[in-house]
C-alpha cells in the first residue's frame, strides 16, 4: 500500500521545524554571560561610539567656548587646508612607505618567529624565550626612542658595528636620505612587537594535529617540508584574518614614536600624516581642532576602505573573511 504524496505533502517540501529563541529566552539562559559582557559594552559606548559625534568638528571652525552647535560651519574648508598644505604629499608618501614596510617586514617577522619557537623542543627554554620576547612590547615609547638614540647615535654601539662594513660614522636619526628613517621605524616596531605579535600564531600552531606530522615523517618529509606543507596551510586562516585587520590600521604608523624620533632636518622622510596634522593644528598659534578632526576622519575613511577591500579580496582568493 503506497502512501499518498499529495502536492502539499511532498517529502521534498517538508521543512524541519526550527524553534526560534527570543532575546528574552536567550537572556534567561545566558544571564551570567550578558552581565560579563556589560562592562565591555559600556566601555565601547562611552569611549568609542559617543565620541563619534566629534566628527562634526571636521566641518566646523570649532571653538571650545562655542561648542559643537555654536561654532561656524565651514563645510570642506578644513579638508582643503589639509590637502593643499605644502608638506601634505610628502607626509602621505612617508605614511604609505612606512605602512608598506610594516605590512611586509613587520607582518612577516612575528610569523617567522612563531615558527622558530614552535620548533623548540625544550619546554623550559621555549617558555623563557617567549617571556623575554614579550617584554619589549610593554616598554613605553619614550624609553624605546631613548634606547634608539643611544644605539644609533654618533657614538652608539650599532653605529660602531656599521662602520666596520664601510658605512659612515654618523647620527643615523639625523640622516634625511631615503629609506634610513623608514627602516629605523620599521625595525624598531619589529623589535618591540615581534614577540607579542607571535602569540596568536603560536596558539594556532599548537592546535595543528600531530597525526599530520607523524604521517609526513613516515612518508619521508623533512622538517622544512612539514612546516611549509602542513603547519603553514593549517594556520593560514589566522594569518589571513590578522593581515586583513592589519591593513585596516595601515595608516597608524605610531604617532608618539615618530614624534619623538623625528626632527626638522628629517621632515622630508620622517613626517607622517599624524605628525603633519599635529604641527598644522597645534604647532603655531591658536589650536585648529577642525583641521585635526578632518585629518583623523580622512585616515579613518581610508582605513575602513582598505579593510573592506582587503576583506573582499580575501573572500575571493581564499574564501575566508573576517566579517
Specify whether the CB–CB gap between 277 and 295 falls below 8 A.
Answer: yes
For 183, the domain range is 77-318
Return the CA Rg of the chain. 27
3-state secondary structure of 73: strand
Query: Domain of 139: which CATH number?
Result: 1.10.3720.10
Specify whether the CB–CB gap between 280 and 85 falls below 8 A.
Answer: yes
The answer as to whether 260 is a domain residue is yes
Measuring CA to CA, which residue among 254, 295, 252 is closest to residue 277?
295
Task: Show the cell assigned to 151.
Answer: 644605539
The answer as to whether 113 is a domain residue is yes
The answer as to whether 32 is a domain residue is no
Query: Within 13 Å of residue 221, how many CA atoms lie on the same side as its CB?
Result: 17
User: What is the tally of structural domains in the chain?
Assistant: 1
The answer as to whether 120 is a domain residue is yes
Measuring CA to CA, which residue among 250, 119, 244, 126 is closest to residue 195?
126
Q: Is the pLDDT of residue 4 over 80?
A: no
**H helix runs in 122-198, sequence order:** 123-134, 141-152, 157-163, 180-197
pLDDT in tens, 77-92: 989 988 887 788 888 8
Query: Within 13 Å of residue 90, how many CA atoms lie on the same side as its CB?
Result: 14
The answer as to whether 108 is a domain residue is yes
Strand partners, 73: 60
pLDDT in tens, 156-177: 899 999 999 888 899 988 888 8
Q: Is the pLDDT of residue 11 over 50?
A: no
d(CA 233, CA 223): 15
The answer as to whether 50 is a domain residue is no
Q: Is the pLDDT of residue 43 over 90?
A: yes
pLDDT in tens, 86-145: 788 888 899 889 988 888 898 999 999 999 988 888 888 888 888 899 889 898 889 999
Q: What residues have CB less than 8 Å from 270, skipping those under 6 apart?
A: 94, 181, 185, 258, 261, 262, 263
Poorest-pLDDT segment among 6-15, 149-158, 312-321: 6-15
The answer as to whether 207 is a domain residue is yes
Residue 2: pLDDT band (50, 70, 90) is: very low
The answer as to whether 232 is a domain residue is yes
Euclidean distance between the first and final Cα of the chain, in Å? 52
Q: What residues have CB less than 8 Å from 304, skipping those under 6 apart?
A: 248
Q: Is the pLDDT of residue 8 over 70?
A: no
Model confidence, pTM: 0.78
**H helix runs in the chain, sequence order:** 23-29, 31-44, 67-70, 77-83, 88-118, 123-134, 141-152, 157-163, 180-197, 199-206, 210-218, 223-226, 232-248, 255-261, 267-270, 273-282, 289-318
Amino acid at each position: 500500500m503506497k502512501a499518498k504524496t499529495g502536492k502539499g505533502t511532498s517529502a521534498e517540501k517538508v521543512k524541519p521545524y526550527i524553534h526560534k529563541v527570543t532575546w528574552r529566552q536567550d537572556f534567561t539562559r545566558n544571564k551570567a554571560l550578558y552581565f560579563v559582557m556589560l562592562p565591555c559594552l559600556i566601555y565601547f559606548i562611552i569611549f568609542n561610539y559617543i565620541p563619534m559625534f566629534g566628527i562634526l568638528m571636521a566641518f566646523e571652525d570649532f571653538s571650545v567656548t562655542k561648542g559643537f552647535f555654536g561654532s561656524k560651519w565651514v563645510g570642506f574648508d578644513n579638508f582643503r587646508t589639509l590637502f593643499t598644505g605644502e608638506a601634505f604629499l610628502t607626509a602621505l608618501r612617508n605614511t604609505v612607505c612606512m605602512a608598506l614596510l610594516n605590512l611586509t617586514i613587520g607582518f612577516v617577522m612575528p610569523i617567522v618567529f612563531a615558527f622558530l619557537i614552535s620548533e623548540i623542543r625544550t619546554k623550559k627554554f621555549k617558555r623563557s624565550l617567549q617571556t623575554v620576547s614579550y617584554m619589549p612590547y610593554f616598554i613605553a615609547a619614550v624609553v624605546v626612542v631613548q634606547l634608539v638614540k643611544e644605539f644609533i647615535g654618533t657614538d652608539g654601539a650599532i653605529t660602531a658595528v656599521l662602520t666596520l662594513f664601510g658605512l659612515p660614522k654618523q647620527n643615523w636619526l639625523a640622516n634625511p636620505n631615503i629609506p634610513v628613517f623608514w627602516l629605523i621605524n620599521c625595525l624598531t616596531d619589529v623589535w618591540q612587537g615581534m614577540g607579542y605579535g607571535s602569540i596568536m600564531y603560536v596558539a594556532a600552531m599548537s592546535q595543528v594535529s600531530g597525526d599530520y606530522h607523524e604521517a609526513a615523517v613516515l612518508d619521508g618529509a623533512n622538517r622544512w617540508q612539514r612546516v611549509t606543507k602542513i603547519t603553514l596551510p593549517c594556520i593560514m586562516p589566522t594569518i589571513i584574518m590578522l593581515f586583513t585587520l592589519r591593513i585596516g590600521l595601515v595608516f597608524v604608523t605610531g604617532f608618539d614614536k615618530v614624534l619623538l624620533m623625528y626632527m626638522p632636518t628629517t621632515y622630508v622622510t620622517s613626517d607622517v600624516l599624524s605628525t603633519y596634522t599635529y604641527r598644522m593644528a597645534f604647532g603655531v598659534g591658536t589650536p585648529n581642532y577642525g583641521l585635526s578632526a578632518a585629518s583623523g576622519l580622512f585616515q579613518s575613511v581610508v582605513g575602513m576602505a582598505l579593510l573592506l577591500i582587503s576583506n573582499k579580496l580575501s573572500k575571493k582568493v581564499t574564501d575566508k573573511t573576517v566579517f
